[in-house]
Structure 1
Amino acid sequence: MKARVLVIDDNADVAKAIGVLLHLNDIDTHHAATAKAGLEALNSSPFDLVIQDMNFSKNHTSGEEGIQLFQQIRDNFSDIPIILITAWTSLETAVQLVKSGASDYLSKPWDDDKLLVTINNLLELAQLQQAHRQHTLERIRQRDSLSEQFDLCGIRYQSDAMAQLLRMTTQVANSDVAVLITGPNGAGKEKIAEVLQANSPCKDGPFIKVNVGALTPELMAAELFGAEAGAYTGITQRRQGRFESAHGGTLFLDEIGNLSMDGQIKLLRVLETGEFQRIGGNEDIKVKVRIISATNSDLSAAIAAGTFREDLYYRLNVIELNLPPLHKRKADILPLAELFLANKATLSEEAVMALKQYHWPGNVREVKNVMQRAALLCQNQLIKVSDLGLELQQPLKIDASKDDEINANDIRRAIDEAGGVISDAARLLGLGRSALYRRMKKFGIDEN
């Protein structure tokens, strides 16, 4: 389909000259002689780009008419690229409008070759932006579809990494295979275990959680397998272990990487035979339990070091679900922050940027603590950067007036600090979104 360009100019000769040039390059044009006619044209049919004059009335050279039209187009058609046509008297105004979001400006008389290059570049960028919008909409549809089909246990997310993990989580939830959840402390491994349980065939059964890494070797067997009355000092009646309590449901073994070697041997025996005995008993007990385990340790390294049994690892790790640290899924930061604020306060724009810039070594748990603190300390229910109490890195500072000073590393860093949000990255660099897209294309940077 041909690209469509709207020329808004009271000078019919200007519109005709541009129209002929674009027609020869397989681009359709439509001419509107007034600002009002231009807005009506935009409302009635789609255009890929607008070329607008800065003055529409005789003896008017201030550019005020062009400013008003630009603002009206930008307010109602925020994504369409706009090229300004200007004489020397309104050049300064055009430059200011470019800083406010206009794509480019042409000085009369213009160079046809340069105009054509500019238009083609902008049309290509518009296609990229449209593809990005479609990709974003598709992600939203997939996220909505996932939440409609499955119980996500209140998880808030926006990142592709989390969406992929949740798709895999819900896919394996319906089986009874052992799942190992890996990831750093505070990232939300227990929440992933809850999603597995909530969407499993045993979702109506018990969900028993135990931090096996906190158990001493002496307590481990009694905690997991139970004990008969009199089995050891102080126990006067039979004690049911976690395996029995989880019968017909799920047993979540957290911090499995810290389990003692003796505990690993006993756990492996149960996983291999499906049976165990209470301490002090001689009755073989058989239960039906789905095993989910989690660790923040590198179990492969622990196996190499001889501190974790390889055979147990393969029993526990039929499916591995890896939960990335929060700084690798920055798009999730703001949804999580708003979840933990629970409408008690609002984040200022500067606070939002600070949240995205911070590294979050404590992951989701740290976000929760920071939001609870900020909601208590802020004034008038508005959270400022000072209320967050975060040790922030030096913010990105680039002189956007000198194109050569903005390099590929600056752009990648800005996109990272903005959590992948291009409009926020553009603001960090002092650029318009279209200008940032042009530089991304120049350096071959993919926003994903």
Structure 2
Amino acid sequence: MLTEDGPAWARMEAALNEGCGIVVAGASPDDELVERLAGFAAVERPGVHPGARVILTQRTNASLTYDGAGGLQVPVRLPSLVDLRGELLDIVREVSAELFPGAPSPRFSPAALQCLLAWRWPGNMAELARLLADLRRAVGNGLIQTKDLPAPMRQTALSSLSRYEQSERDAIVAALAESDGNKSRAAEILGIGRTTMYRKMRALKIDDDERMIAPGP
């Protein structure tokens, strides 16, 4: 049980001091755990980002319950990031602003943005927060490209391509790398016209802002 797991509380304390939030997921937390979590969350930690919070989730089949003090508790279903694809950029900006107050919003190349939109986000908001923190450390305020994203995320955006399309894409990326990003020279290497080259780049999701870095590991 969490109430008896000393190392778990130490890890949670370390996470809060690093500015990370904590989500405690449980089927039916008892009063002792709720009280201890409330006291743990209320401890003042000078210098810790205010976004570092303790959140307790509870699963219930009841639509409405009373908390015993006259208050009405209404279970609320929080949509996942997959359900909010159309709002993902706004969510990225809001989460980034909370994690890094005063810093500019992250900038994604079109191809990198497509990777984010195609990803299934199994870790939901916690995964997004970790990703933004990792990208901030690695890229700073620079343009985020597909090469900066985790390998599984890079590959997801290309999973809809057929084997032939993927091989064609790899050949174009290789030619662009050989020509140092010069599309006219890359078209010559491949033996195709420049107009055809541009059309294939669009169709195969090869972004000019990616500086022709292959999306592999």
Give yes or no for TM over 0.5. no
TM-score by length of 2: 0.41
**Whose Rg is larger?**
1
